[in-house]
């Protein structure tokens, strides 16, 4: 892989964000509103419910972690959609850029977009609600990486659909995470789900990530089995996502639809 080519693609999207105030505000606005909204909801629950001894901290921390997943997936999808909307996708291969170079470049660019959106929102939680996600300690790094890579994996799945079926598939980019949220057991334990849904949910790394988050916050202990299970599933899905991305590109090239991407 050529580092200069990957860095060039990174700079294209970085300067696109840097030179556009509306884009920066859009990145910051939605995470901030969502976290503030969940903060007030959690504060209400903490006053009127005794289920959690630390309801505000648990729900708000889970909301922040879910937003890491949401922003990383959407950021990856948006970077890909930017190339389609600007009819620049086929031009990327003039460099020429390899598919793996595009994937790696977009992964790191999506990280920047995710941090731009989340860091200001996270900084507001402590003065507004007295909750800091940093209370998770070192496990926060492992939770963040697990959620980030699963978000990238979802981005690869959606991008594969965009390559195969064109821009008409872009609605899935916005709805994919909402479809998984009920099964991810973000704000509640897996026992809440019906038996059939529990079997499906156990195939998702989200269940183990958020179960471990609640375990750390409520019990002050770390269950490394949850981390192991989450990373194992992440690895499996990431490999599937990359393979699917390559297969979709190959099919689109055979069908000749790449040249019409963005039309």
Angstrom CA distances, 164 to 171, 186, 251, stand at 14, 31, 7
Number of domains the chain contains: 1
Residue 234 has a pLDDT of 94
Instruction: Note whether residue 85 is domain-resident.
Output: yes
Residue 39 has a pLDDT of 78
**51: burial class by Cβ within 10 Å (0-12, 13-18, 19+)?**
exposed
Instruction: Note whether residue 253 is domain-resident.
Output: yes
Instruction: Note whether residue 23 is domain-resident.
Output: yes
Instruction: Establish how many alpha carbons lie within 13 A of residue 193's alpha carbon, considering only the half-sphere containing its beta carbon.
Output: 19
Rounded Cα distance between 52 and 158, Å, is: 36
DSSP the chain: --HHHHHHHHHHHHHHHHT-HHHHHHHHHHHHHHHHHHHHHHHHHHHH--SSTTHHHHHHHHHHHHHHHHHHHHHHHHHHHHHHHTT-TGGGGGTTPPHHHHHHHHHHHHHHHHHHHHHHHHHHHHHHHS--GGGG-THHHHHHHHHHHHHHHHHHHHHHHHHHH-GGGHHHHHHHHHHHGGGGTSSS-GGGS-HHHHHHHTTSHHHHHHHHHHHHHHH----HHHHHHHHHHHHHHHHHHHHHHHHHHHHHHHHT-GGGTT-
Q: pTM value?
A: 0.84
Instruction: Note whether residue 3 is domain-resident.
Output: no
Instruction: Note whether residue 111 is domain-resident.
Output: yes
Residue 59 has a pLDDT of 81
Query: How do the pLDDT tens digits run along the chain, 263 residues long?
Result: 778 888 888 888 888 788 778 878 877 887 888 788 877 877 777 676 655 556 667 888 888 888 888 888 888 888 777 777 777 777 777 767 788 888 888 888 888 888 888 888 788 887 877 777 877 888 889 999 999 999 999 989 988 888 877 767 777 766 777 778 888 888 888 888 888 889 998 999 999 999 998 888 888 888 889 999 999 999 999 999 999 999 988 888 777 766 666 55
Instruction: Note whether residue 2 is domain-resident.
Output: no
Q: What domain range is 223 assigned to?
A: 8-260
Instruction: Note whether residue 185 is domain-resident.
Output: yes
Residue 49 has a pLDDT of 62
Instruction: Note whether residue 80 is domain-resident.
Output: yes
């Amino acid at each position: 892989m050529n580092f200069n080519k990957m860095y060039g693609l990174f700079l294209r999207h970085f300067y696109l964000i840097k030179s556009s105030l509306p884009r920066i505000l859009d990145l910051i606005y939605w995470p901030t509103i969502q976290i503030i909204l969940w903060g007030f909801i959690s504060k209400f629950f903490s006053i009127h419910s005794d289920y959690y001894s630390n309801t505000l901290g648990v729900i708000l921390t889970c909301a922040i972690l879910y937003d890491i997943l949401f922003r990383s997936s959407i950021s990856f999808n948006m970077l890909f959609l930017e190339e389609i909307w600007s009819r620049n996708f086929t031009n990327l291969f003039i460099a020429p850029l390899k598919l793996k170079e595009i994937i790696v470049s977009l992964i790191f660019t999506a990280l920047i977009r995710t941090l731009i959106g989340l860091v200001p929102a996270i900084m507001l939680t402590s003065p507004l609600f007295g909750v800091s996600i940093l209370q998770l300690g070192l496990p926060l790094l492992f939770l963040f990486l697990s959620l980030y890579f699963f978000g990238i994996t979802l981005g690869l799945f959606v991008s594969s659909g965009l390559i195969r079926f064109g821009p008409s598939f872009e609605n899935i980019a916005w709805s994919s995470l909402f479809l998984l949220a009920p099964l991810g057991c973000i704000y509640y334990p897996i026992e809440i789900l019906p038996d059939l849904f529990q079997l499906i949910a156990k195939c998702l790394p989200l269940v183990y990530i958020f179960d471990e988050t609640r375990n750390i916050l409520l019990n002050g202990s770390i269950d490394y089995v949850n981390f192991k299970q989450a990373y194992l599933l992440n690895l499996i899905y990431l490999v599937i996502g990359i393979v699917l991305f390559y297969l979709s590109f190959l099919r689109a090239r055979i069908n000749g639809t790449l040249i019409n991407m963005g039309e």
